Structure formats: C-alpha cells, structure tokens
Structure 1
C-alpha cells in the first residue's frame, strides 16, 4: 500500500508560511504594527482547514495549505467539492477491479461496473 501522508512536509509548510514569511516581511518593512502578524497568523491557521480536508481525500497537504493561505474561501469550497482520489480509496479499503480498473466498496463481491468477481 502507498504511503499516504508525510508529516514532515506538512510541518515545514506550516512553519515556513506562518512563522518565517512574516519575519522576512517585517525585516523588509512591508508591514507596520502587530495587526499584520495577527491577521497573517489567523490566515495561516485557517489555511489548515482546507488543507486537512483535501489531505483526507488523498491530495497533497502542503500544496493545499499554500492554496488555502492565498485563496481561503475558494480553496475551502474546492476541497468540499473534490472527490477521493485513488490513494484515498486504497487507504479506505476500496478494491480495484482487475478487469476494468474501477474501484468498488470493500464489502463488494463483484465489480459494480463490469460485473466480474473481485478476487
């Protein structure tokens, strides 16, 4: 079975975009005051929501974290609409038909698509 998620990459993405980027921006005098830090940290935490939902559906956490950080509302709606990919289905126990390649639920005995046994 394939490895589904690497926590190291998730932590690196969160650290880079919630701690290091604001430090660099403050050194470059892009922002003034503590309001920037509070808002940026709030958006960094909010970006975890679409990233986690998309990760549960088999998508890459770090990419969805950046997507959620930049376009939170769009990323949130998008992550609710997307379906599970093949990796997520394998993790959840779905079986792939050897004849047609479609995934069937774990309790299925025959393929719902071609009708052949799932042995």
Structure 2
C-alpha cells in the first residue's frame, strides 16, 4: 500500500513538471508511476518541448505551424508573406500607433483592422 501511494505521488509530480515544460502530462504520469522517484528526476532534467525543425511561430497567434504553411491552422490568418520585411509598419487609424504590417489588432489601443 505504501509503495502504491508513493508511485501515485511520483506520477503526479512527474506529470506536473512535464506539463510545465510543454510535454505530455499523461505520458510522464505513467513514467513517474512506473519508475517512482526516478521518473520525477527524469521529468526534472528533461528539456522544454520546442518546435520541430520544420516549424515556425505564427506571427498572429504564436502557435507553431509548418514553415511552408500559407494559412495558420490555428487562427486562419494568411501567413504566406508574414515576416518577409520585419521593418514594415502601418499606423493605426484610431491612435496612430505604428503596428507590424500584418497585424490584425493595434498594439496600442486594441482597435481591430479590416482584412
């Protein structure tokens, strides 16, 4: 009974640590459950989950998408020309704040731009 309680606690701890690093909480729960304290140690030393080599962040919603993507699968925005000229800006018609050319909302006042 004591080992089972320790195993459950280690599984929960492993899942919480892994989840904070962007990894699968369910998988790490079972690893912690099976390996006990060693699972917690492995979860603690595991690195953060990053993008795969063929992925980039969407400039609109910051979710990871394929580098070749034309439309973001998360927010539906056109990302075909995004990031081509990072110095391009457009002023907001409401407050005059300079925003990135492909922005959908003003960073200064929150005004939504027309598509």
| Higher RCO (CA 8 Å, separation ≥ 6 residues) | 1
Structure-2-length-normalised TM-score: 0.41
Higher Rg: 2
Higher fraction of helix:
1
Structure-1-length-normalised TM-score: 0.40
